[in-house]
Amino acid sequence: MGGVFGKISVEVPRYEVLARKAGYELRKYPSLLLVDTPTRALVSGDNSFRKLAKFIGVFGSPENKESESISMTAPVITTPSAANDSAFTMGFVLPSKFESVERVPTPTDPSVCIKSTNWGTLACATFSGWASESDVNHQEDVLKKLLLQDGYTVTGRTLFARYNPPWTLGPLRKNEVLIPVAEPVVSPQSD
């Protein structure tokens, strides 16, 4: 029942909060393992969520060569493809028990990939509700303006994170826009 009311009861990635700013926080993430697949939409996700859920065994026997069930985690991450801004990837962060790509069960679907990622420092804006593409784009624009004002340089593509199952009530849903950044360059003060 907690999922209906926004309680997140699955493993989430650990991170260190580097700073809290007006409208966002800066986080440092360790290297993480992801399972991902291409998707055509930022928020609705065609059949891609189902492919990932089948890989970990949500709908029955896990679709991996080892037939190993894998615990669901949060968030579900969607990001623009490096090759095409109108294509995306959707991914799950894998449980921390998997220490390397080699220890993760092998997907049977060739469109499902396991990868290691190092997001480094991310600026994060959290918001609630049913996040439409326009909501996500608005949150991204607001965060980029704040980062520019504070002297941060965007160093990569924006990630969109959704933490709750589909049955969670809209106002209680947790969403995040995460943008990779470099620390501001501080020029030495002249005397």
In this structure, the answer to whether residues 44 and 67 fall within a common structural domain is yes
In this structure, the answer to whether residues 37 and 102 fall within a common structural domain is yes
Q: What is the pLDDT of residues 42-95, one digit of tens each?
A: 776 668 999 999 999 999 999 999 999 999 999 999 998 776 667 899 999 999
- C-alpha–C-alpha distance, residues 22 and 143, integer Å: 10
In this structure, the answer to whether residues 55 and 112 fall within a common structural domain is yes
**Mind giving me the DSSP string for 64-127?**
BTT------BS-EEEEE-SS-TT-EEEEEEPPTT--SGGGSPPBSSTT-EEEEE---EEEEEEE
In this structure, the answer to whether residues 106 and 46 fall within a common structural domain is yes
- The answer to the question of residue 189 being in a domain is no
- C-alpha–C-alpha distance, residues 156 and 182, integer Å: 10
Report pLDDT for 190: 47
CATH number at residue 77: 3.20.80.10
In this structure, the answer to whether residues 39 and 106 fall within a common structural domain is yes
Q: Per residue of the chain (191 residues), what is the pLDDT tens digit? A: 455 566 788 999 999 999 999 999 999 999 999 999 998 877 766 689 999 999 999 999 999 999 999 999 999 999 987 766 678 999 999 999 999 999 999 999 999 999 999 999 999 999 999 999 999 999 999 999 999 999 999 999 999 999 998 888 989 999 999 999 997 765 555 44
What is the dihedral angle through the alpha carbons of 150, 153, 158, 164, rounded to the nearest 10 degrees? -40
Nearest CA to 76 among 43, 103, 28? Answer: 43
- The answer to the question of residue 97 being in a domain is yes
| Host domain of residue 104 | 33-117
Report how many domains make up the chain: 2
